Structure 1
């Protein structure tokens, strides 16, 4: 965990610049990320690393438990949890 914190001191939600602009989200602003399973608050990181329509995050920070958003379902063949595939809604928090 210490190594990860040298890269980022907190959880970040990576979001494409076009999506961020459409949602009026600026770099570093706090956003709410919701799924039908839960919600978290996290800081936005605007980057073209993610394609439009896709957001990304690590799941290493207890302060922003991203896994509360994901499904407990298992892939039917490999039996791997579907932690990396989840429909979410992102919204800017009011200042």
Structure 2
């Protein structure tokens, strides 16, 4: 669906093997990656979960 470059922060709050990107704000880059298709039962888009691939980059383009 897309890609973003962000600076990571490793904390004990987020379990190993998972990532968390704030999505509460319209300008959040995470919102560009989620699935806008609605759930068949609830009719609500799946905006909180998506598969990711994490890669190291030398420098984040912009913050």
TM over 0.5: same fold? yes
Structure 1 stretches of 4+ with a deviation exceeding 4 A read none
Q: Hey, what does 2:10 align to over in structure 1? A: 46
CA–CA separation in structure 2 for the residues paired with 1:55 and 1:38: 16
TM-score, normalization by structure 1? 0.53
Aligned length: 58
- Normalized per residue, which structure has more strand? 1
TM-score, normalization by structure 2? 0.75
Q: Identify which of 55, 58, 61 aligns with 1:91.
A: 55
Unpaired runs of 5+ residues, structure 2, are: none
CA–CA separation in structure 2 for the residues paired with 1:90 and 1:73: 23
